[in-house]
Amino acid sequence: YEQQGMHDAARSAYWDALDTTRDDAAVALLISRGMARIDDRPGVFEALRRAGQLSATLREPSPEDMLASMAASEEFDAYRQEPEFASVVAELEAERSVNAAGL
């Protein structure tokens, strides 16, 4: 839908996919990137929060890998200065610190 310019259909599909993503942080991150491409701001942050929570809980991908993926994704450039984005980054960085401390 996204490639065909059908953003409403893409938005609906991304939200449906997010609703069923309960155990895969990488998929939630991909969904957030798609939402960013169609400029669904609430969807971007909801999917990022889900990705961060799953990464912190399941450690796959690790918080370090999640942060690296977020940093490398150009889709997030318009959102990096937003408090919601900074919140997800801060939570992942805190998890990374816990991991580094061996706690």
Q: What is the pLDDT of residue 73?
A: 95
pLDDT tens-digit series, residues 3-60 = 898 999 999 999 999 999 989 999 999 999 999 999 999 999 999 999 999 998 888 8
Provide the pLDDT confidence category of residue 102 given band limits of 50, 70 and 90.
Answer: low
pLDDT tens-digit series, residues 50-99 = 999 999 888 889 999 999 999 999 999 999 999 999 999 999 999 877 76
Q: What is the pLDDT of residue 43?
A: 97
Long-range contacts, 62-67 (Cβ 8 Å, 24+): 62/96, 62/99, 63/92, 63/93, 63/95, 63/96, 63/99, 64/96, 64/99, 66/25, 66/29, 66/92, 67/92, 67/93, 67/96
Q: What is the pLDDT of residue 99?
A: 67
What residues contact residue 69 under an 8 Å CB cut-off, 6+ apart? Answer: 26, 29, 61
Distance CA 26, CA 66 (A): 8
Q: What is the pLDDT of residue 98?
A: 72
